[in-house]
Amino acid sequence: MPILIQIVVSMNNKNTFIIVSTQPYKEKDALVRMINEDGTSISMIAKGTSSPTSKYGALLQPFNICEIDYHLKDNLSFFISASLKKAIVYDDFNALAAASFLLQSMEAINRLESNSYPLWTIVDYLVLCQTSSIAAMTKWCLDTLKLDGREMMMDECVKCGSLQISSFSLSAGGFCCKTCSVAEKNDISDIEILRTLRCLAKAPLDLAYKCSFHALTMHVVKILVYELKDSYPLAMKSWKFMDELV
């Protein structure tokens, strides 16, 4: 007589998450998308939290970092309770739109490749967005190119090694000197912007706010985003929304 071992996959957990989005689900429930500290994107069913009397409805909102108790059953996660650890707030609408684009893009990429963006890395980008949304998006795009195995060469001319830089070319893979740039598709040739790109690419994420980014423009971000969107599931709906605001 074979021995039957029944494994019941049902357990309670406590973890820290950043809330990405909350959608109403059934009558009073919500479906909450979130990312944990390892960079895993998950969806959780939160019963009763869409009701106006729920004490958790206000906590389960985008950009809040919460410690959440939940129940895991048959691969579905059920919200139990939450406490707020940190709230990231934006006082201008452009920064909020840019932060939404970044957060949703990172969530989508984590779904594709788990652990690409752990929670506290995401928080660093979102906090940089409070200082400059253009700098945060530029830094994020440069880092994501690196994640894609396409780190841009920004120390010297990517073709000949010359230190006399005159342009940035995505297709060449970084900076080009005047001679080499003739044969390349040059995306940016403003020297102030090239300096900023180098600073942002080299700076650790938590120190990127120290770069001077007054020369950066949405045009620079656009070039990088359009390059990345062929490789990654970026949140282009949020991008379009933000692009129309500017």
Enumerate binding residues for Zn ion (CB under 5 A): 157, 159-160, 162, 177, 180
User: CA–CA distance from 109 to each of 126, 133, 175 (Å)?
Assistant: 16, 20, 27
3-state secondary structure of 109: helix
Angle between helices 133-147 and 191-202 (to 10 degrees): 60
Return the number of the residue (64 or 181) whose C-beta is nearest Zn ion: 181
Whether 107 contacts 100, CB under 8 Å: no
- The single-letter code of the amino acid at 195 is R
**From the CB of 183, what's the least distance to Zn ion, in Å?**
10
**From the CB of 236, what's the least distance to Zn ion, in Å?**
34
**From the CB of 155, what's the least distance to Zn ion, in Å?**
12
Return the number of the residue (18 or 157) whose C-beta is nearest Zn ion: 157
Number of neighbours of residue 185 by Cβ within 10 angstroms: 11
**From the CB of 198, what's the least distance to Zn ion, in Å?**
16
Return the number of the residue (23 or 179) whose C-beta is nearest Zn ion: 179
Q: Cβ contacts of residue 70 below 8 Å, gap of 6+?
A: 12, 13, 14, 15, 44, 77, 78, 79, 80
Return the number of the residue (101 or 168) whose C-beta is nearest Zn ion: 168
**From the CB of 141, what's the least distance to Zn ion, in Å?**
24
CA 240, 244, 245, 246 torsion-angle sign: positive
Return the number of the residue (126 or 157) whose C-beta is nearest Zn ion: 157
Return the number of the residue (158 or 208) whose C-beta is nearest Zn ion: 158
CA 197, 201, 206, 207 torsion-angle sign: negative
**From the CB of 162, what's the least distance to Zn ion, in Å?**
5
